[in-house]
Amino acid sequence: TKKKDIINGFHCICFFECVDFVLESLKGARVLVTGASSGIGEQMAYHYARFGAQIVITARREKVLQQVAEKCLSLGAQKALHIAADMANESDPERVVDFALEKLGGLDYLVLNHIGPTTFGMWEGDVEHTRWLMKVNFFSYIQMAWRALPSLEQSKGSLVVVSSVLGKMTNPFTLPYSSTKFALSGFFGSLYHELAMKKSNVSISVCTLGLIDTDSAMDKVRGITKVPAYPATEAALNIIIAGATRQLDLYYPWFTQVITLIKDWSPSGGVTLDRSPVCRRAT
Ligand code: NDP
C-alpha cells in the first residue's frame, strides 16, 4: 500500500505541477468572459486577473462591469476592458467578439458563461420566455463561437462553455433553462467532432456544474433543496483549468458525473431534488 501511495502521490505532484505550468501560461493570455458582472463569471475574471491575463468582460450592467474591471486591474490583469451588451439582441454577440478581437489583437480563450434570468417553477406554457431564453443562453453562444473561431484557430485557442447538470438530465421546475443547456450539450458536443475531423487547433471544454452558491442560484432554491451548494470561486478556477488543460469535459463538483452516469438506470430519471412540499406537488 505504501508503494502504491507513493506512486499515487507522485502522480498527484506531477498533475499539480503540470496544472501550475499550464496556469502560468495564462500570463498575457487574451480572454473574453461573458456574464462576468456577477457569480461564476465574475470569479473567473478575478482568477484570470491573478494569472496576469488580458481580459475583456461583458454583461448588461455597465457600472458593475466597470467595478469588476477595476478590481481585475488591481489583482494583476495586464488589461481589463469591459463592454455592455444584451445577448438577446441579434447583433450584440458578434459586436462583443469584434470588440475583444480589436482591443486584444486576437483571442486565446472564449469563455461562454452568461445566462438570462428565468423563473424556478412549474411550466405554465410561456413559449415566448423560452424563445427569449434560447436567444440568450444558446443562440448567442453559437454566434460568438463562430465569430471567434478563426482567431482561436490561429492562436491554438480554447472555447469554454459553461453548462449544467440540468443540460444532461431532466428535472422539474427548470424546463426553459434545461432546454437551453441541453441544446448547448448537443451543439458543442457535435462541434467537437467536426473540429476533430478538420484537425482543428481549437479545443472545446464543456463544463457541467452542479449547484453553485451564486446569489442568483441560491435565491431560487432556498428552502426547496438540501443539495449542497459549492463555492463559485472554486467552480470558476476548475473551469479555467479545464480550458487551460484543453479538457473536453469538466464535472464540478465531481459527483455530478456520477449523477449523469446513473440517471438512465434510476426509475425517476435521477431527480436530485428532495421531497420538499414544492417537489411533492410536482410528483
Ligand atoms: P449569475 O446569474 O450569477 O450571472 C449571470 C450573468 O449573466 C451575469 O453577469 C448577468 O449580468 C449576465 N446576463 C444576464 N442576462 C444577460 C443578457 N441578456 N445578456 C448578457 N448578459 C446577461 O449566474 P451564475 O454565475 O450562477 O451562472 C453562471 C453559469 O454557470 C451559467 O451558465 C449557469 O447556467 C451555470 N451554472 C450555474 C449553476 C449555479 O448553481 N449557480 C449550476 C449549474 C450551472 P447582467 O445582469 O449585468 O447582464
Closest of 147, 167, 175 to residue 159, by C-alpha: 147
Residue 265: pLDDT band (50, 70, 90) is: confident
Cell of 250: 469538466
Quick one: pLDDT at residue 226? 84
Residues forming the active site? 177
Residue among 34, 115, 184, 207 whose CB has most ligand 1 atoms within 8 A, to mutate: 115
pLDDT digits (tens, 9 = 90+) for 247-261: 999 999 999 999 898
Indicate whether 278 pLDDT > 70.
no
State the Cα–Cα distance between residues 177 and 184, nearest whole angstrom: 11
Cell of 80: 481589463
Ligand 1 contacts CB of residue 115 (under 6 A): yes
State the Cα–Cα distance between residues 281 and 283, nearest whole angstrom: 6
- In the chain, DSSP finds a helix count (H) and a strand count (E) of 11, 7
- Average pLDDT of the segment spanning 80-97: 98
N-terminal to C-terminal alpha carbon distance within the chain: 48
State the Cα–Cα distance between residues 256 and 103, nearest whole angstrom: 37
Indicate whether 89 pLDDT > 90.
yes
Q: What is the DSSP string of 135-195?
A: IIIIIHHHHHHHHHHHHHHHHT-EEEEEEEGGGTS--SS-HHHHHHHHHHHHHHHHHHHHH
Contacts of 225 (CB under 8 A, 6+ apart): 211, 272, 273, 274, 276
State the Cα–Cα distance between residues 58 and 83, nearest whole angstrom: 5
Closest of 151, 192, 201, 191 to residue 30, by C-alpha: 151
Ligand 1 contacts CB of residue 40 (under 6 A): yes
Cell of 254: 465531481
Beta 79-84 vs 109-112: how paired, if at all? unpaired
Indicate whether 279 pLDDT > 50.
no
pLDDT digits (tens, 9 = 90+) for 128-148: 999 999 999 999 999 999 999
Q: What is the Å distance from ligand 1's center to 49 Cα?
A: 19
Quick one: pLDDT at residue 239? 98
Q: Whose CA is nearest to atom 8 of ligand 1?
A: 35
ipTM: 0.99
pLDDT digits (tens, 9 = 90+) for 144-168: 999 999 999 999 999 999 999 999 9
State the Cα–Cα distance between residues 254 and 82, nearest whole angstrom: 32
Judged by DSSP in three states, 230 sits in strand
Judged by DSSP in three states, 96 sits in helix
- Show the beta-strand stretches assigned E in the chain: 30-34, 54-59, 79-84, 109-112, 158-164, 203-209, 249-252
Q: Whose CA is nearest to atom 23 of ligand 1?
A: 39
**Chain mean position to CA 92:** 19
Judged by DSSP in three states, 280 sits in helix
Q: What is the Å distance from ligand 1's center to 114 Cα?
A: 4
Q: Whose CA is nearest to atom 36 of ligand 1?
A: 164
Q: What is the Å distance from ligand 1's center to 34 Cα?
A: 9
Q: Whose CA is nearest to atom 3 of ligand 1?
A: 39
Q: What is the Å distance from ligand 1's center to 112 Cα?
A: 10
Q: Which atom of ligand 1 is nearest to 181's Cα?
A: 34
CATH number of 17-282: 3.40.50.720
